Each structure stands twice: as structure tokens, then as C-alpha cells.
Amino acid sequence: MIGRASILTYGCQMNEADTTDIGQALKRAGYELTRSWDQSDLVVLNTCAIREKAEDRIRGTLGHLKSLRARRPWLVVGVMGCMAAQSADYLSHEADFVIPPMEAGQLSEVLAGLPPPPGLGEEEGDLPPLEMNQETPFKRFLPIIRGCNHRCTFCVVPNTRGPEYYEPPEELFQKVGEMRDRGVLEVTLLGQTVNAYVHGGWTFATLLQEMAHRFPAVGFRFITSHPRQFSDEIIEVMATRPNVMPYLHLPLQAGSDRVLRRMKRLYTFAEYEALVGRVRSAVPDLALSTDIICGFPGETEEDFDRTLEAMKRIRFESAFMFYYSERPGTAAVNLDGKLPIPARKERLARLIRLQKDIQMEVNQSEVGRRRRCLVERTSKKDPAVMLARTPSNKGVLVPGPESLIGSYLELEIQRADSFILFASQRA
Ligand code: SF4
């Protein structure tokens, strides 16, 4: 070991998957990974630029790391991820190295050029080693597409991650085979627009079909899907392959066609609703989640009402809801009709209230059902309670010992609130 390193991950699952790669590069370079970043010799921030709030948190952490340098002057700070592309000028004054997503392969070279930390050996050596990131040993993420070819007017991803790049299918099959051999039970295929996958004669539907066929003991999920490219062939695979899990994350973003046009989302609400109808009738136990942005430039009260109406009609099982925040370099920055922040926040509060009520009702329909769930970890609040997940990705709390982690249980759902289900084990 040449030193201790930690990775602070912000943002989406794509970043979590990238953190696995960063962790492997750090280990190859001789670093031991630790969660104790205040006792590390090297800290890598894997950043997100998608919202202003995430950037503010990262700027705050960089400030803390600066003050840590007073105690550990050899500390090396690196920044990777989307903010490394979006705010490279600012970061070049705050960090020792800055590597944007499209150049992530340079990390090993950069690490090889770093001096060994002189503080090594001066501190207690009993720091808990970090076993990679928030993925569990049974659930892994697998990026199949990087970048995005769309140009949604609010989004930095095309600027920070570049155009779409598709991983070759044979390499993906090999990686899933290796995961399966290591005991991985569920694999989530990742991409900003995962269903846009193409490679040679492969489409996302044929890739998913082949994955499910070759690895019948592995459960597959995929995120994030763009409604415009969601083909009937994908629905067919979801409906016919039992190991493709009944979960779909399909961002709607807004219920008003006028706002959707200004966002350049390339579909109308009617098209979105029709697509949801087709998927739900083919996959009866489907859980549908979404992303919603309120307070987009020019959004009138009537537009916002359409979003509320859309949520009542679709009844999402879960939703990630945000108020619009300006991202430098995106087209929406130049749109007229900016709403004051308090007005955006007020609309977000209304959205959240509505969605909470819908989730409460939707989750009640789970009560009395039996679900085969994968036990993921102990509950944060009570070590005698386990957190498991239904095939449709709903969290379930169930009493039980830690030894259940990584096993499938047949659970009977006994009660539910807006955010979680509660179960007993079936005799
Ligand atoms: S589809 Fe739109 S929101 Fe999603 S990553 Fe691409 S540009 Fe961003």
C-alpha cells in the first residue's frame, strides 16, 4: 500500500458505476480505499453538475478539504465527473488534478505521476477498508452507453459527457458472466438514454433479450429510458423474460406540451401516456418511476396544472422531483420567462404533496401480496431489521438477522406508507 484514498460520489447511478472503475484504478495504483476521507492521502470527488445544489455541496467539500490540508499538507485532491468538464477553470485552482468524464481513462497515468504520501505510517493503521461503493456485492451497475445524443435544453450531460458511445456487446456479456461468477444476483444496465443502445446489428431490445437468455439466474434492470426511443420490442422483452424486472424509470419532466417543446423532449404528453399504457398492459406488475422538473422558464400556472394532472393520471410508483435550476452552457439559460426561486419552490412543494399521497395509495395495493425480495442490507435505524427490495424495486423492511443479506425471501407485505413497505417472512 502506498497510501489511503477515498472517493466521494455525487449524483446518478452512472457516477456510482464510474466510482467502481475509479476504485479499481486506485487499488491498482497501490492505494487502500477508506471511507475516512479526513484520514486519506488522496481524495477523489466524483462530481455531478446536473443541479446547482449538487455543485454547491461539492464546492463546500472542496473548502473542507482545503482546511484539511493544514493538517495533511501532502493531501492530493482530484476531481472527476461532470463538474470536471463543466467548471474546469474554477476547479483547476481548487484541486490537484481535474479529469472530465470523456478522459476518465487518464486516471491511472495521473496516479502514476503522483509522489508517494510522506505521511504514510504516521497514523493508526486500523481504518476500515471500503468495499467499493454503494453497489452491494449482489447488485452491480453496468454502463452500456456513455454520453447522450439528445439536447434537452436544461441538461449539461451532452456538454460534460459528450455524444453517445456504445460498449461492445461481447464485452458486456463477458462482464456480466464475471459478475454472475462472483455471486452477483442483479445487474442494472446503465445509460443516460439506455434504450438508445445500438452496436452493429444490436439494439437495446436484442441486447436485453440476449442478456436475459444467457444469464437466466441474474435479474436485469435498466435506467434511464428516453420515451422517444422506447420501442415495442423492448416492451416485448420485458413482458416475456421473467428475469427482466418489472421496473421502468421513464422521465416525463413536464405535463404541458408547450413546456416539453421548450425542453426539447421530443414527445407530447399524449404520446408518453400511450406508451405507459402499452408497457403497463404488457407488464402487469410494473412499477413506473419518473423525473419531473417544475418552474421551467416560461412555465405558466396552467402549464404547471398540466403536470399535476399528468401525475394524477399516470400515478407513478415513485418520482424524482426538482425545481428548475440554471446550468451554465445549457440552452435554457437563454430562454425568457424565468420564475423567481420562491415560486419554483412553491410549485415543487405542491408536486411533492401530491406525489406523496399517490404513493401512499399505490403502496396500499401491495398490502396482502407476496413478493420475492432480495435482502440488500440492514436498516439504517435498526440492525435487527433488514431492507429488501421487491422485483419492482420497492423497499421492504422485514425483521431478520444479517445473515439473510444476499438471499431471496418470499415476503408477505403487511402494511405500507408512502415510501416503504413492511413485511413478515412467509412461514
Ligand atoms: S436525454 Fe436529455 S436529460 Fe437525458 S441526459 Fe440526454 S440531454 Fe440530458
Confirm if 88 and 100 have CB atoms less than 8 A apart: yes
Estimate the share of the chain in helix, then strand, then coil, as percent rounded to the nearest 5: 40, 25, 35
Nearest CA to ligand 1 atom 8: 155
**Single-letter amino acid, residue 156:** V
What is the distance in A from the centroid of ligand 1 to the CA of 168? 22
Confirm if 49 and 84 have CB atoms less than 8 A apart: no
DSSP 11-52: SSHHHHHHHHHHHHHHHHTTEEEBS-GGG-SEEEEEE--SSH
Closest ligand 1 atom to Cα of 149: 6
Burial 193-203 (b: 16+ CB within 10 A, else e): bbbbbebeebb
> What is the C-alpha R_g of the chain?
22
| Residue 224: CA count within 13 A, CB half-sphere | 17
What is the distance in A from the centroid of ligand 1 to the CA of 263? 10
- 270: Cβ contacts below 8 Å, ≥ 6 apart: none
Q: How far apart are CA 57 and CA 60, in angstroms?
A: 5
What is the distance in A from the centroid of ligand 1 to the CA of 15? 15
Confirm if 245 and 393 have CB atoms less than 8 A apart: yes
The pLDDT, as a whole number, for residue 128 is 33
pLDDT in tens, 363-415: 999 999 999 999 999 988 888 999 999 999 999 999 999 999 999 999 999 99
Intervals of the chain under pLDDT 70 = 70-71, 116-135, 426-427
Strands 139-143, 145-146: pairing kind? unpaired
Sign of CA dihedral 66, 69, 73, 74: negative
Closest ligand 1 atom to Cα of 264: 2
pTM over 0.75? The answer is yes
Cβ of residue 211 lying under 6 Å from some atom of ligand 1: no
Confirm if 243 and 210 have CB atoms less than 8 A apart: no
Q: How many CB atoms lie within 10 A of CB 284?
A: 8
DSSP 315-338: --SEEEEEE----TTSGGGG-S-P
Confirm if 42 and 5 have CB atoms less than 8 A apart: yes
Sign of CA dihedral 142, 147, 152, 153: positive
Confirm if 252 and 225 have CB atoms less than 8 A apart: no
At residue 384's C-alpha, the angle toward residues 381 and 390, to 5°, is 80
At residue 280's C-alpha, the angle toward residues 232 and 207, to 5°, is 40
What is the distance in A from the centroid of ligand 1 to the CA of 144? 16
Confirm if 176 and 365 have CB atoms less than 8 A apart: no
What is the distance in A from the centroid of ligand 1 to the CA of 299? 19
Helix axes 232-240, 269-282, angle to 10 degrees: 30
Probe residue for ligand 1, chosen from 82, 155, 159, 164 as the CB with the greatest number of ligand atoms within 8 Å: 155
Cβ of residue 158 lying under 6 Å from some atom of ligand 1: yes
Sign of CA dihedral 145, 146, 151, 153: positive
Q: What is the set of domains in the chain, with CATH numbers?
A: 3-112 (3.40.50.2300), 139-364 (3.80.30.20), 370-425 (2.40.50.140)
Closest ligand 1 atom to Cα of 156: 8
The pLDDT, as a whole number, for residue 2 is 74
Using alpha carbons, select from 343, 344, 155 the residue that is nearest to residue 262: 155
Using alpha carbons, select from 233, 143, 258 the residue that is nearest to residue 194: 143
Q: How far apart are CA 153 and CA 158, in angstroms?
A: 10
Helix axes 269-282, 301-314, angle to 10 degrees: 10
Q: How far apart are CA 147 and CA 164, in angstroms?
A: 4
The pLDDT, as a whole number, for residue 409 is 93
